[in-house]
Amino acid sequence: MTTTTSSTASITSLGVGSGLDLESILESLEESKTTSLLDPITAQEESVEAEISAYGTLTSALDTLQSAAEALADASLYESLSTSISGSGVAVTTSSEAVAGTYSIEVTQLAQAQSLATDGISDTTTTLGTGTLTLQAGSNDAVSITLDSSNNTLEGLRDAINDADAGITATIVSDGSDSPYRLVLTSDSTGTEAAMTVSYSSSDSSDLAASLFGYADGAGNMTETVAAQDAELTINGIAITSQSNTVEEALQGVTLTLSDTGSSQTLTITRDTDSIESAITAFVDAYNDFVTTVDELTAYDADAGTSGELLGDSTTRRISTELASDIYTQIGSGTFSYLSQLGIALESDGTLSIDEDTLASALEDNIDAVSEFFIGSDGSSGFITRMTEDLDNYLDEDTGLIPAKTDSLDNKLDQLEERYDEKQALIDSEMERWREQFTELDTLISTLNSTADYLTEQFEALNSD
């Protein structure tokens, strides 16, 4: 018995004791269980993942179409204008209130800000005095600055004026003479209404500041180096004056920025049909991309026996049908009721094509009717409005058809993963049980073999006697 015990204790690998290929048998059993229990789940998971990916592709195409549709739904698109001006010295910007037309503009004078300069002194740190300097620019509130030890030099007064927020900027200019330093005051605004008033008062008539600014009202002793001046121009022969070189609303919805005087030049304002045509083209391209995407996702190749991930999918079919219906359904009873009247035709393969001449003619001749077709007379009842509403129904994160579908697929994938884990745990449990049983079998056969060997030895020993 000692020999038998020693033999069974030496078994360290399944099948070694019995001589049977028990490990291969176990592997075959596990493979069979995997094929019957796990492979179908894996195949379902791959199918669901492919469907989710396909919906991602469909969503991308619809997002592009939605962006293109929203651009056409923007009322300002149909109000945009383009401008051109024949000369230089005048820049033009427009708002939606501008009126298309041709205008003759001639600028004869630019607006200027008034500048006043003191006489020169030899040093910017010379003490000026202890009086009060009063400044006023146009109708702004007057500002008084009392000269004291903190500011009674040319440099100190310059800083005090700039800090006073009087609508006046002070600088020191050197003219290169023996007394070169002059304080220059410049109104922050152009035009005659921004002209400055400067006065000085002091109990000490010997104040240097008194000689620089003078005691009189107005400019006093200062020299006007640049006169306050309004801009002057004519528009279609009508004289216009402006306090600044930015002339607003002389023409409705138009801002003119003047930078030079010169001869008469022509301003032309037209509707920006190029932007509208580009937006329409982008929409057609996006719709065609959507149609192509759906065709690929729902295709069936009989020869190869393969099909698109969304073949037969009811959600995809509904979206495709509804958007196609939007394309060919009549809108209102205006000049344009169908896309085809704008030169946008529905082809046999479901895509759209553009007759550029027909579209250009509609935009040039009747842009208001084009606007009414796309967005409606109220800005919210046209062709593109209905399509954007449908696209929102498909794509809205909370209530959209596609997010609801993909959420359902995600849940299904989670359930499949749970089933996979459960089946894997079952297989692992069965394999462990079988391994224990095979180990017992291996041990039993090993023991029987050892016993048989022992008995054989004993019989042989008896026979030899």
**Tens-digit pLDDT string for the chain (465 aa):** 333 333 334 444 655 555 566 677 777 877 887 777 777 888 888 888 989 999 999 999 999 999 999 999 998 898 888 899 998 999 999 987 888 899 999 999 999 999 999 999 999 999 999 899 999 999 999 999 999 999 999 999 999 999 999 999 999 999 999 999 999 999 999 999 999 999 999 888 788 998 898 754 444 689 999 999 999 999 999 999 999 999 999 999 999 999 999 999 999 998 889 999 999 999 999 999 999 999 999 998 888 888 888 998 999 999 999 999 999 889 888 899 999 999 999 999 999 999 999 999 999 889 989 999 999 988 778 999 889 999 999 999 889 999 999 998 989 888 888 888 888 888 888 878 877 777 777 677 777 777 777 778 777 777 775
Residue 273 CA to its chain's centroid (Å): 24
Q: Are residues 278 and 259 in the same domain?
A: no
> Which pLDDT value is given to residue 19?
54
In a domain, 465, yes or no: no
Q: Are residues 55 and 85 in the same domain?
A: no
Q: Are residues 394 and 443 in the same domain?
A: yes
> Which pLDDT value is given to residue 68?
96
Q: Are residues 53 and 146 in the same domain?
A: no
Of the candidates 371, 313, 318, 321, the one whose C-alpha atom is nearest the C-alpha of residue 342 is 371
As beta bridge partners, residue 90 has 258
Q: Are residues 164 and 283 in the same domain?
A: no
Q: Are residues 354 and 431 in the same domain?
A: yes
> Which pLDDT value is given to residue 459?
77
Query: How many angstroms separate the CA atoms of 247 and 232, rounded?
Result: 10
Q: Are residues 97 and 123 in the same domain?
A: no
> Which pLDDT value is given to residue 421?
84
φ, ψ for residue 97 (rounded to 5)? -85, -10
Contacts of 348 (CB under 8 A, 6+ apart): none
> Which pLDDT value is given to residue 4?
37
> Which pLDDT value is given to residue 11?
40
> Which pLDDT value is given to residue 14?
59
Query: How many angstroms separate the CA atoms of 379 and 410, rounded?
Result: 39
Q: Are residues 291 and 345 in the same domain?
A: yes
pTM: 0.62
Q: Which domain holds residue 297?
A: 1-80+273-459
Q: Are residues 301 and 422 in the same domain?
A: yes
In a domain, 464, yes or no: no
Q: How many domains does the chain have?
A: 3
> Which pLDDT value is given to residue 349?
93
Q: Are residues 322 and 429 in the same domain?
A: yes
Q: Are residues 68 and 152 in the same domain?
A: no
